[in-house]
Amino acid sequence: MININLYEQIRYLYAVEKLSQRAISRKLGISRNTVKRYCQGENVPWEGKHRRYERPVTGPVEEVVREWLAKDKTAPRKQRHTADRIYQRLVEEYDFTGAPSTVRKLVKELRLEGGKAFIPLEFDPGEAAQVDWGEAVAYIGGQKTRVQIFCYRLCYSCACYVAVFPTQRSEAFLAGHLQAFSFFGGVPRRLIYDNLRTAVKEGWGRYVKAEQDDFMALRSHYAFRADFCNPGSGNEKGLVEELVGYIRRNVMVPVPRVESMEELQVELDQRCLRYQDKHLRYHPLPVKEALAVEKQHLIPLPVKEFEYALTKMAEVDNLSLVKFDRNRYSVPVNLVGRTVTVKGYPFQVKVYHHGLEVATHPRLYGQNETRLELEHYLPVLVKKPRSLANAAPLRRANLPPGLNELKDRLLARQGDHELAKVLGLVIDHGVEEVEKAILVALQGGQDTYQAVRYYLDRKDTPDSYRGAIDTSFPKVEPVNLQVYDNLLAGELQ
């Protein structure tokens, strides 16, 4: 290959000076073949010749590998050939002697052949958002826990919202929507989903025939349209698919260690706000500026928030428990035999009777678990003191330190009737006031109901908690018998 200066001289002498190829060859001192190649401008020195590279090692097996990869397209996704498996088969079936790296290179090139091309999408402000679930692991209260991540992303601004839940059940799915709508202060005209069972009852993609009732209610209340992707077409909602990976790599690494999911949600909220400071590639505006534009085109939120709880009617059994979603929760004992309304939220269970909230519990997601509240059973425990030693509500209760110590002392000396009276004080005065009186009594070495009642009755007296009752016995001076001896001695005289 000649340099560009020599090429310039050849072209000038041939095209301008009209010299023959022989004359140019003689004048420049180069071969006539070189002059012939470049004089008419058919070839240029700055373009290399495309050469076909032979595959001396993998060439003989290339068609075999190509056939295996073609068959993989109809095989289950998790049962397709890896490059290592292809290498193993080539060695076993074709006596292949090449290295594994040459096979990996061949497989990579063949898989890139005929690669899919995607069309870049463009959305108007407020037109659409994409929704999907992700899964991750976090340490909640020191325990390794698998958590479900609800991901929501506006298509115009690419602003995102992420919420964490214990499950992907319907109530969590609906709650995620409400949190996202509230976070952005409005709703896009269209939401794009996979064929989620919490949304789709029958059909798939454009052929969805029926939606779940609660999802239809949500969609109607917030006035948006739902579009469902074709099965296996994650590219139809690539924005939220990308968000799921981003959250796993940037928020959940290293694995978060928090005391509760509420604490993890606070961190996720902050990350979503910080994400708005980004300026994404190929986007004309930063996320925050684009979001400001998009918010002006969102559908306003309705006046009343959607009720997304899973609601059931249940009868209170004779243990003052209601069954909900394979677990049991306590309610006040005066409701035994009554029918109540139980509402299950992602993190709470609330019980209502005649429209009034009568109990609230953390949501249980195990099976055959029971959640008890001591206050629900106090009226019965006061009347049945002999049950106190083995009463499950009392054993499981998270009592304040003073009341817990007094309980242990009274039960140790079989003072169950005294303990019942102390629990009666809790009903009348509240656990905080009773706890104050107990701490003063214990400080003075007194562990009786009478002492607790004394300090509780004197709670309005200034400095009443500073001193303790003098519980020592009356002091009796010893009798001086010498007086009697003197009397007797005098009489005898």
Domain boundaries, the chain: 4-38, 59-111, 128-295, 310-371
151-174 pLDDT, tens digit per residue, is 999 999 999 999 999 999 999 999
> Whole-prediction pTM value?
0.72
What is 128-295's CATH number?
Answer: 3.30.420.10
Residue 422 half-sphere exposure, CB side, CA atoms within 13 Å?
A: 32
pLDDT in tens, 82-94: 999 999 999 999 9
Phi, psi of 303 (to 5 degrees): -65, -45
Average pLDDT estimate for 316-335:
96
Tell me the pLDDT band of 397, cut-offs 50, 70 and 90. Answer: very high
Mean pLDDT across 226-241:
78
Which pLDDT value is given to residue 74?
86
pLDDT of the residue at 493: 44
Q: What is the Cα–Cα distance from 184 to 193, expressed in whole angstroms? A: 19
Is the separation of the CB atoms in 171 and 309 below 8 Å? Answer: yes
The mean of the pLDDT values for the chain is 89
DSSP 350-414: EEEETTEEEEEEEPP-SSS-EE--HHHHHHHHHH-GGGGGG-HHHHH----HHHHHHHHHHHHTT
The CA distance from 185 to 440, in Å, is 52
What confidence score (pLDDT) does residue 26 get? 92
pLDDT (0 to 100) of residue 111: 85
Tens of pLDDT along 4-40?
A: 889 899 999 999 999 999 999 999 999 999 999 888 8
> Which CATH fold would you assign to the domain 310-371?
OB fold (Dihydrolipoamide Acetyltransferase, E2P) (2.40.50)
Question: How high is the pLDDT of residue 491?
Answer: 52
- Asked if the domains at 128-295 and 310-371 fall in one CATH topology, the answer is no
